[in-house]
Copies of this chain bind each other. A is one copy, B any other.
């Protein structure tokens, strides 16, 4: 029986471990950090993620979807906060679909616990990947607990060690390896809206809150404990930026002017602002994702994206689903499997990377724009009338399993049609007339 290594015990690594163990392989999972289940607290901050259909499908494959659903909160739409504190709603789906706010740490723990039930999975924590010998497929680790170097040899190695992947760094040195890392000029900082005293949520807990402000934005996702994790996405440098907002007074002043309705809910704003780090936002693209039939990188290691489409984890989980299906089709031919996976999945990773970058502009800019909201309304009406002809791009990405690259292409077509529709005479008055629907049918 082949021996398989998984480098990185995060979400994608732990899920892939379970899927490979189910197939009967001997799986060793290596993780740079200590076992997060034994840590006193899961980091200092509570990071949450939005699970959607692609993620759920992979969790179902691992048999853990029901359990995770219990620890997640459905968000049925965006709740937009304008500067006066007025709220407006924009549902995510046409038919009441939701995306689910879930704790990254909690989800990771569940996956690890499930993996522990497999006698053929061994976790090895405190192992920092130092180097890979691609000839012999041997990985060198620093055992940071015992302060010694260890080497292990495997038939196949999966690199699931994130955006700053050590496994990928090794591949980057092989000939013909294309690679790019591109940072946004904006970064982010996590803040918090704590629960009410009775443990309930201070604002609606069935939506993703957005404070769109053109050049930047804040969002908030609900947690199970009644709190919200807020994230301020903001320029790193420039006139109004993390660089310039640096005294307590400046923070309060900026929030008073920009997010006045949020302030009463953020009693620890100033402390959080100064205690929490400012993090960067990177897009990583590379190819190929494999080295012969020996190494394959998955998830953020091969395609790290910005978080604005809520598809980072979901696309990583979908890697596992796609790999699993391909494995069943071509069992035994690892060379073909790795190469085919890398070649065929890469365009989808590129597509969701582009969509995620674009969606930042949409979220911070357009969700406050009446034209944008009208457009969504018209699209929704048409899609309800002709569900076989039109699924909005957001729904295809979030609530379907259509390949991302296909969704992107279809989105460009729909975009052109909607641009023409929005140029119809008096569209703001006439949008609800049959002429508009007919025009769309004609344009399709």
- In the complex, what residues of B have CB within 8 A of residue A177's CB? 181, 183
11 residue pairs bridging A and B, Cβ less than 8 Å apart: A164-B173, A176-B183, A176-B280, A177-B181, A177-B183, A178-B181, A178-B182, A179-B179, A179-B180, A179-B181, A180-B181
CB-nearest residue of chain B to A285: B180
- In the complex, what residues of B have CB within 8 A of residue A183's CB? 175-178
- In the complex, what residues of B have CB within 8 A of residue A175's CB? 183, 280
Q: Which of A172, A176, A179, A183 has the most CB of B within 10 A?
A: A176
Q: Which 3 A-B pairs have the closest CB atoms?
A: A180-B180, A176-B183, A175-B280
Name A's B-contacting residues (CB within 8 A).
164, 172-173, 175-183, 236, 280
A83 to B175, CA, bound (A): 32
CB-nearest residue of chain B to A284: B179
CB-nearest residue of chain B to A184: B176
CB-nearest residue of chain B to A278: B175
- In the complex, what residues of B have CB within 8 A of residue A182's CB? 178, 180
- In the complex, what residues of B have CB within 8 A of residue A180's CB? 178-182
Contact B176 A236 (CB under 8 A): yes
CB-nearest residue of chain B to A283: B178
- In the complex, what residues of B have CB within 8 A of residue A176's CB? 183, 236, 280
A182 to B176, CA, bound (A): 8
- In the complex, what residues of B have CB within 8 A of residue A280's CB? 175-176
Contact A172 B181 (CB under 8 A): yes
- Least Cβ–Cβ distance between A210 and chain B, in angstroms: 25
- In the complex, what residues of B have CB within 8 A of residue A178's CB? 180-183
- In the complex, what residues of B have CB within 8 A of residue A181's CB? 172, 177-180
A236 to B288, CA, bound (A): 15
CB-nearest residue of chain B to A185: B176
A164 to B176, CA, bound (A): 13
A178 to B180, CA, bound (A): 8
- In the complex, what residues of B have CB within 8 A of residue A173's CB? 164
Q: Which of A164, A175, A236, A280 has the most CB of B within 10 A?
A: A175
Given contacts A176-B183, A176-B236, A179-B179, 9 further A-B contacts (CB under 8 A): A164-B173, A172-B181, A175-B183, A175-B280, A177-B183, A178-B182, A179-B180, A180-B181, A180-B182
A175 to B279, CA, bound (A): 9
A301 to B175, CA, bound (A): 17
A182 to B175, CA, bound (A): 10
CB-nearest residue of chain B to A279: B175
CB-nearest residue of chain B to A176: B183
A183 to B176, CA, bound (A): 5
A144 to B180, CA, bound (A): 32
- Least Cβ–Cβ distance between A75 and chain B, in angstroms: 30
CB-nearest residue of chain B to A182: B178
A172 to B183, CA, bound (A): 11
A180 to B285, CA, bound (A): 9
- Least Cβ–Cβ distance between A356 and chain B, in angstroms: 17
A137 to B182, CA, bound (A): 25
- Least Cβ–Cβ distance between A182 and chain B, in angstroms: 5
- In the complex, what residues of B have CB within 8 A of residue A236's CB? 176
A236 to B176, CA, bound (A): 10
- Least Cβ–Cβ distance between A353 and chain B, in angstroms: 13
A130 to B164, CA, bound (A): 19
A178 to B280, CA, bound (A): 12
A403 to B174, CA, bound (A): 34
A173 to B172, CA, bound (A): 14
- Least Cβ–Cβ distance between A287 and chain B, in angstroms: 10
A227 to B177, CA, bound (A): 34
